[in-house]
Amino acid sequence: MSKPKVLLIGGSLNQTTIVHQIAQQLPECDCYFTPFYADGPIGWLTRLGLTRFTILGGRHRQATERYLRAHNLAVDYGGQQHAYDLVVTCTDLLLPRNILNTRLVLVQEGMLEAEDWRFHLVRTLKLPRYLANTAATGLSHAYHAFCVASPGYRDLFIRKGVHPDKIVVTGIPNFDNAVDYLNNDFPHRGYVLVATSATRETLKFHDRERFLQRIKVLANGRPIIFKLHPNENIERATREIRRHFPHAPIYTEGNLHHMIANSEMLIAQNTSAIFTALVLGKPIHCDLDLATLKRLLPIQNGGRSAERIAEVCRQLLQTPLTELTRRPLRSRFLPRWEVQDLSS
């Protein structure tokens, strides 16, 4: 009997490492990987090189392809080589047509964008979800299971309109074992870490000059290290920083979680890695409400989220697709760990 075939879709390096960890928990399956892809008008724009500022191209695509090569993973670009029994993706803002007729697992990738006017316009007028960025995560309703970070996020997604029976609280890889990031080889310690975001690249207002001036006040003479968002305009951001901090180290790559673990304080905008700082008890200055983030904090399960998500995948693979279409996952499957997490 042939093994089930599973397609895992990467995108940002965070998404790619998440799906790789899930695949490692599915040894009984033939797992193939692909960088994020699109068809239709967005696919056409991608072929013209006009989506390089997204996970469809640019630094994100390059980082994902380097990762896939470095780990010698089986790659099927665009899922064209095989008929798949199940697909795992970390975003449903865009869903290629060739994955819509199979079992589909959506995995939360991290923190969501705020629900601004674009989110409400997208939800009300049924506009393309990508216009609201990650705030619209889950609104495709095309998946059979949605694996989320915490009970707090489960409540948030239900409020957004996600069907409760499709949500399974599994925790999410990369954010489920923050204490492990304390063991690292990042060479610096005892600094203020500044993690920027690609706010301007997503057409949102951000006063970078004011942000840099605020950093000076908050750092109060302590050494500063900058970690730039991979989707940011690196040349512009570096030029702006150098006007205020001519000698501060600026990293464009590297493990942000390790940098947070070795820092004395985190100054950020809206990066998902704020969750790591929260768990590790670091002082945080950011654009988000910390009380809200604490309610949403991903479950810390010692790094077992990929194992839990793989269990959801197995349950789907064992269920006829016609049955999944008739009734959602949760009506027949509530993992034992979710009962434990929700009651703790």
- pLDDT tens figures, 195-228: 998 777 666 777 899 999 999 999 999 999 999 9
pLDDT above 70 coverage of the chain, percent: 93
pTM strictly above 0.85: yes
* pLDDT, position 200: 74
Token pair for residue 168?
């399974």
Q: How does pLDDT run across 106-165, given as a tens digit for each residue?
A: 999 999 988 989 999 999 999 999 999 999 999 999 999 999 999 999 999 999 999 999
Rounded to whole angstroms, the Cα distance separating 285 from 157 reads 26
Helix, strand, or coil here: 33? Answer: strand
Residue spans per domain, the chain: 5-176+299-343, 178-296
> Rounded to an integer, what distance in angstroms lies between the CA atom of residue 197 and that of residue 135?
16
> Would you say 131 and 117 are in contact if contact means Cβ atoms under 8 Å apart?
no
Using an 8 Å Cβ cutoff, are 105 and 316 in contact?
Answer: yes
CATH number for 178-296: choose from 3.90.79.10, 3.30.465.10, 3.40.50.2000, 3.20.20.70: 3.40.50.2000
Alpha carbon 53 to chain centroid distance? 16
Sheet order of strands, 86-89 included: 30-34, 5-9, 86-89, 103-107, 145-148, 167-169
Are domains 5-176+299-343 and 178-296 of this chain identical in fold? Answer: yes
Render pLDDT for 38-52 as a digit per residue (tens, 0 to 9): 999 998 988 888 888
Question: Which CATH fold would you assign to the domain 5-176+299-343?
Answer: Rossmann fold (3.40.50)
Q: How far apart are CA 282 and CA 216, in angstroms?
A: 18
